[in-house]
Amino acid sequence: MNPLLSGREILIVEDETILRKRLVRFLEDEGGLCSAFTTFEEGKNALTSLSFDFALIDVHLPDGLGLDLLDFSSGVSVVIMTADGGWETAVEAMRRGAADYIAKPFELPEIPLVLGRCASTKRQDRKRQHREHQIASGDSGSGVFFGMSLEALKGQLDKIIAADSRLTGRLPPVLIEGETGTGKSTLARWLHASGPRRSEELVVVNCAALPENLAESELFGHEKGSFTDAKEKRIGLFEAADGGTLFLDEIASLSSPLQAKVLVAVEEGKIRRVGGSSEISIDARLIVASNRDLEELSKSGEFREDLYHRLNLLRVVAPPLRERKEDIVSLVEHLAAGLAARYQLDRISISDTGKNQLLSYDWPGNVRELSHELERALILGEAEDLEFPSLSGHSNMEVLDSKDDWLNPLWEFPEEGISLEDAINRLIHKALDSAGGNVSKAARLLGVQRDYIRYRLKKEP
């Protein structure tokens, strides 16, 4: 059984009886579903009324030229069978839209190799169409910055990649959870680029952007005539990602029936196109992301519990930026390096005032908001000594004149300035004193994670 041919519909138009029967027997033994005919008219009727993945068509048929069947083969990968030495015919076939050709006489094991090339070309075309759509809609990725606060997350990802490298078959799914803007898509791209399938395609799908009436067709493909606008067979993104990685962002946006089909694809490695009767084997590594807690959604019935438990095998969480304050300045410098190259600048630097502005803001939009704020400041300000005046009215320091202000409103900066690091440490020790040395309570008072306080204490001289 050949996974490439398993469940694929194959048309054979060949008037030589022995060759036709041998092709049918061989391809069906390999898992293909064959329809065989002998004449041009029969082939035309089949192409116009039925749906096929591949077609093997002889050039010379009793009632016409097989090349002319290319006019009726939209969406089908056609291989022209031509007599040995018929190179001019082969060139003409390719010019008219044939996917490939094979010269007679040939050995039957050559056929899967030729069809494999056709399938690869179709997947590449589908991925190219999807990629062009993403570019047109402004969807792009950037490099990952693993600061000190993401050491534990980096360790998780490294273990996943190490496990992947030991597997020879299908890879287990990965679930990435986190608030909007925390970099889930970037983590998915990094995981793919660092793993054993890095040389294959990463297909990225924003499930929230898929129209409900087209989502199933987009993900799983459709057969010709399966709905009003299905004028030709089309493979879905699961098939397009075969051998590579499929990233489904905001998976909770999919309907329950679609979630059920995703579950089958994950558990059995099989899909069924819209309007199709056969199952098709696929091997796409699935990475999914959600900005909502899938466990809570599964308990409330908003997400399939069986799919959640299958996806929860390898779960990583992207923390919000407000819990990564110690990394903000370094993260901005990392993002600034990319912007400098994009805007053809020698360097971008952040002033001390700018750093204070960045650190005093809670970043509800997380890394995405930070990136946009940095680019806006670069365009509207100066590349050297950047500041972020638009943050001043929204920072945590905006209540300095209120009665609950922790900072004496009469205090002023000395001319020589102060050390922000020392000020942060003093606040941490003040919180620890108030909490009687309880790190968890001190962390709640400061609105940070316990690990952040431990990290700061270890840094102290």
Position 143 scores a pLDDT of 61
Beta strands in 14-99 (DSSP E): 33-37, 54-58, 60-61, 64-65, 77-83
Query: Angle CA(331)–CA(334)–CA(335) in degrees, nearest 5?
Result: 90
Which is more confident, 89 or 405? 89
What is the rounded CA–CA span in Å between residue 77 and residue 116? 10
Question: Does residue 428 surpass a pLDDT of 90?
Answer: no
Q: Which amino acid is at 164?
A: D
- Spatial distance between the Cα atoms of 33 and 331, rounded to a whole number of angstroms: 54
E strands, 29-149, are 33-37, 54-58, 60-61, 64-65, 77-83, 100-104
Q: Which DSSP symbol is given to 222?
A: B
Which pLDDT band, with edges at 50, 70 and 90, does 136 fall under? Answer: very low
Residue tagged 């039925």 (tokens)? 50
Region at 363 (left for phi over 0; alpha for psi -120 to 50; beta for the rest): left
Determine the pLDDT at residue 402.
41
| pLDDT value at residue 130 | 62
Nearest CA among 191, 141, 151 for reference residue 171: 191
Per mean pLDDT, which of 24-28, 140-144, 445-449, 450-454 is the most reliable? 24-28
Q: What are residue 205's phi and psi, to 5 degrees?
A: -130, 125
Closest alpha carbon to 239 in 268, 203, 291: 203
Mean pLDDT of the chain: 85
Lowest-confidence range among 98-102, 412-416, 422-426? 412-416
Query: How far apart, in whole angstroms, are the C-alpha atoms of residue 450 and residue 373?
Result: 28
Q: Minimum mean pLDDT among 2-16, 127-141, 326-340: which range?
A: 127-141
Candidate ranges 88-102, 117-131, 144-158, 175-189; pick with highest mean pLDDT: 175-189
Q: What's the CA gap between 230 and 214, in Å, rounded? A: 11
Q: Is the peptide bond before 105 cis (omega within 30 degrees of 0)?
A: yes
Q: Between 184-194 and 151-165, two packed helices, what is the crossing angle to 10 degrees?
A: 40
Length of the chain as a residue count: 461
Rounded CA separation 454/439 (Å):
8
Confidence of residue 406 (pLDDT cuts 50, 70, 90): low
CA 47 – CA 68 distance, rounded (Å): 12
Element (H or E) spanning 343, and its range? none
Which residues, 6 or more positions from 4, have their beta carbon under 8 angstroms from its beta carbon?
112, 115, 116, 119
pLDDT tens per residue, range 274-286: 888 888 888 999 9
359 contacts 328 by C-beta, under 8 angstroms: yes
Rounded average pLDDT over 429-450: 84
Share of the chain above pLDDT 90, in %: 37
The predicted structure's pLDDT at residue 251: 95
Output the pLDDT for position 141.
43
| Model pLDDT for residues 69-118, shown as the tens digit of each residue | 999 888 899 999 987 556 788 788 888 889 898 888 899 999 999 998 88
Q: Which token pair is 330? A: 């370094």
Q: What is the pLDDT of residue 399?
A: 38
User: What is the reported pLDDT for 437?
Assistant: 81
Domains in the chain, start-ordered, CATH in brackets? Answer: 9-120 (3.40.50.2300), 150-319 (3.40.50.300), 321-411 (1.10.8.60), 417-461 (1.10.10)
